[in-house]
Amino acid sequence: MKHKHLNSFMKKLLFAFLLAFSLSGYAQLKSPADFLPEYGKQVSFYHEIEAYFKYLKENSEYIKHESYGFTSQGRSLNVYYISTPENLKNLEAIRDYHLYSIGMTDKKPAAETEKAIVWLSFNVHGNEIGAAESSMKVAYELLNPQNTTTKQWLENTIVILDPCLNPDGFSRYGNWLRDISGKNLHPELTDREHIEPWPGGRQNHYAYDLNRDWAWQTQIETQQRMVLYNRWMPEVHVDVHEMGYNEPYFFPPAAEPFHDFITKPQRDFHNVIGENTSKKFDAEGWNYYTRERFDLFYPSYGDTYPSFNGAIGMTYEQGGIGAGRAVLMQNGNILTLQDRINHHTVAVLTAVETASGRKEKLIADFKAYFKDSRQNPKGKYKTYVIKNDGKVEQLAVMLKQNHIQFAYADETKKLSGYHYQSDKEKAFSVESGDMIIQASQPKSVLTQVLFEPYQRLSDSLTYDITAWALPHAFGIESYALKNALVIKTRESKISNTKVLPETAYAFYIPWNNRTSAKIAASLLKKNVKVRYSKKNSAFGDIKLNMGDLIVLKSDNTKLPEFEKTMAGLLAEKNDYSVIKSGFSTDGTDLGGENFQLLKAPKILLLSGKNVSPTDFGQVWFYMDQIIDYPVSILDADYLGMINLTDYNTLILADGWYDLSDSQRKSIDDFISKGGKTIAIQNALSLFENREGYNLSQFATNEEKDAAKKQSDEEALTSRFKEYQKTERRSVSNGVPGAIIENVLDKTHPLSYGLGDKYYSLKTSDKYFKVLKNVWNVAYVPENYKSYGFIGANLKKKLGNTVSFAVEPVGRGKIIYMIDNPLFRGFWENGNLLFSNALFLVD
């Protein structure tokens, strides 16, 4: 910040301050520019950012460091606590009292010390480098002994500063920019400095967007950060981003739609931030806007997630993506990295100043929020009952990560409640072992946001998914009750400790969750022969459903100490059992043809510039981390240079493949000779309307004519629409992301284990009417249920469309995934559906 009109009195005063501070030993704290010669001119290396913070830590009493983990590539994740030395000494006592006062811990604190807690998150998107660069300047301004103003804020405020949430993405971008930078700047658009190569630095190692992952916590960076977040529960969370470089600065208030559960104090604080920050930007003559973009709805962002945890969650955006070191903007100005740092620094410091200035109100509002959460939950439903099912295991993991409290029923009760799967009130009984989640708890709002069947959208112009109810995502039979359920509960499911039998005829492994797939993968890696069940059957108490796995002793005579070895291999899957005889009590025997051998997939996944990085990343992450199974990855450009017969499974993630005729022919040959291809979303265009495939948008001329008639009608009715309504018009033809009911062919292996129905997350307006000569395994019925926003025109077209289909071609087959079951990795039933495609569809 500049002081243009210092009078001589002020100068003397400043001199006195300087003298005082120099005597105290902390007079000369180096700014980032003093420490890093290229600061503001070139992107910093990640180790330089670490080094600067280490320097600050060693030269100031106002900062304390905590490492909270490591990225996939082994880079360190860090936060820095910035406050007065006295506050830092009492950090634990302040934290204890804070958590105690909102009911997040029963532990009585040693002292009652209240401070505002402000968490600053920088650079969750790796290529938005102005963010991490400005974190150093922000820290410096807070610590600089000569800046007495910031010291006053720190009297009543604890700043938790995370310089870079995504060091792997930051380094991918930064190392590349360094690599291609010459001595001269080239702000003109044509230079490669402004065109980042695939997959880009925005995402993390597995090409996951960490700013869509806050609630789902699929990624290691998020998981480790959220442990710390829940230890602190900040009152203010600032999420620092960048966007296209021609955009002026964006700060709160956020745009509509706000989720219904955002409170008035939260909205009010947004407005105060808007007023305070705009004054600073007006004084500097900087361009900015508020309220037009970046809504508060989808719960997994760095602004919404903190908001549903009681905080003031805010996104800050500076133009900068693709700007490199300097870029010429449309208005003729040159935007430099230094400009980006300057804007962020002023905006973020204003957030700290505002929080400090309103400390008392912030704390009072925060406490009231949590009191309300415990005593008066906002939503329609007060208790959620999740039926005991193999899929509950992963749900429990996710709830724990979010500190959502739950328990398991310890008695049976007859009740009636809203049944998610049929969208109706229904009588049912709670059985011992069912999961019980009460809405009245500290994390009440988050719980209700995640479990509400219908989210309330104040405006349809949102750019993300609009439905995410966990019972549909996990595919578990669930109920919601309007009144709080009083029932005896216990903390854990009773797990029967396994007594290993001396002899087993076979091991039975239920096919019901991601662990089933992981176990199948690990058995196949060890050359264990595994069978899966193609019909329902029973062996005494053990009921086998289609898809369940069987490991026969007679198939595995080479396995030493069969019983002991198998028990070891199955340790992770606690619901397996031992079958003592192959003679069935119902259905067919284990030796018969209904128990088919699993084929070990040899998988090739295509990557490269025409493949969507995040969708590619979801497949890679599923292979590498969820089931831990090898996958070969090859740039699509090299297709045709390798022997596809080395593989038996080809995966084409969502993308805009630009393949030559001979490359397409190599895929055709691969399939017809017995290969399996899984094509997701836009990869389907490689097969659409091509000879040899039955993939076509309409199966009959009547369907084609009806669609044409509808679009003609739409064109006629929209003739009198105003120009300014164009954006709205495009909304009525699209779907940002909604849940759609699908009927299953329960006898097809692609549907095994999914339940009675499949609720698919639809994120694209591309649709195919139920296909001819193909197994339409999951399709949208004529009068379908849906949750979330679907444009009115599109909604009429989705009846009788297919979501997942299998087409036999020659000796092989192709699996069409019109929707992406691996979307952001949180659709747990989608993970299982993908596992079916990989292992069970043969």
The residues binding Zn ion (CB under 5 A) are 125, 128, 241
Q: Where are the alpha helices (DSSP H) in 308-455?
A: 337-357, 359-375, 392-401, 444-451
Least CB distance from residue 317 to Zn ion, whole Å? 7
Q: Please say whether the beta carbons of 236 and 312 come within 8 A.
A: yes
Torsion of CA 636, 637, 640, 641, to 10 degrees: -110
- CA pair distance 621, 626, nearest whole angstrom: 7
- Nearer to Zn ion among residue 303 and residue 828 (C-beta): 303
Least CB distance from residue 612 to Zn ion, whole Å? 17
- Nearer to Zn ion among residue 241 and residue 259 (C-beta): 241
Q: Where are the alpha helices (DSSP H) in 90-166?
A: 91-101, 129-143, 148-155
- Nearer to Zn ion among residue 125 and residue 472 (C-beta): 125
Least CB distance from residue 221 to Zn ion, whole Å? 15
Q: Is the dihedral of CA 707, 713, 716, 717 positive or negative?
A: negative
Least CB distance from residue 302 to Zn ion, whole Å? 9
User: From residue 838, how far is each of 320, 395, 707, 833 by CA, in Å?
Assistant: 41, 23, 34, 9
Q: Please say whether the beta carbons of 312 and 269 come within 8 A.
A: yes
- Nearer to Zn ion among residue 240 and residue 473 (C-beta): 240
> Which two structure tokens, joined as six digits, stand for 84?
């007065």
Per DSSP bridges, beta strands 312-321 and 236-244 are: parallel
- Nearer to Zn ion among residue 212 and residue 359 (C-beta): 212
Least CB distance from residue 100 to Zn ion, whole Å? 35
What are all long-range contacts of 638-641, with beta carbons under 8 Å and residues at least 24 apart?
639/606, 639/663, 639/666, 639/667, 640/666
DSSP-assigned letters across all residues of 460-499: S--SS-----HHHHHT--EEEESSPPP--EESSPPPPPPP
> Which two structure tokens, joined as six digits, stand for 443?
């994390």
The residues with which 775 forms a beta bridge, in sequence order, are 806
Least CB distance from residue 125 to Zn ion, whole Å? 4
- Nearer to Zn ion among residue 206 and residue 418 (C-beta): 206
- CA pair distance 831, 712, nearest whole angstrom: 39
- Nearer to Zn ion among residue 321 and residue 519 (C-beta): 321
- Nearer to Zn ion among residue 301 and residue 370 (C-beta): 301
The verdict on whether omega for the bond into residue 257 sits within 30 degrees of 0, i.e. cis, is: yes
- Nearer to Zn ion among residue 127 and residue 156 (C-beta): 127
Residue whose C-alpha is closest to residue 560's, from 531, 530, 526, 583: 526
- Nearer to Zn ion among residue 123 and residue 307 (C-beta): 123
Q: Where are the beta strands (DSSP E) in 62-180?
A: 63-70, 76-82, 116-122, 157-162
Least CB distance from residue 49 to Zn ion, whole Å? 18
Least CB distance from residue 121 to Zn ion, whole Å? 11
Residue whose C-alpha is closest to residue 382's, from 414, 418, 410: 418
Taking each helix axis from N to C end, the angle separating 562-569 and 514-525, rounded to the nearest 10 degrees, works out to 130
- Nearer to Zn ion among residue 125 and residue 325 (C-beta): 125
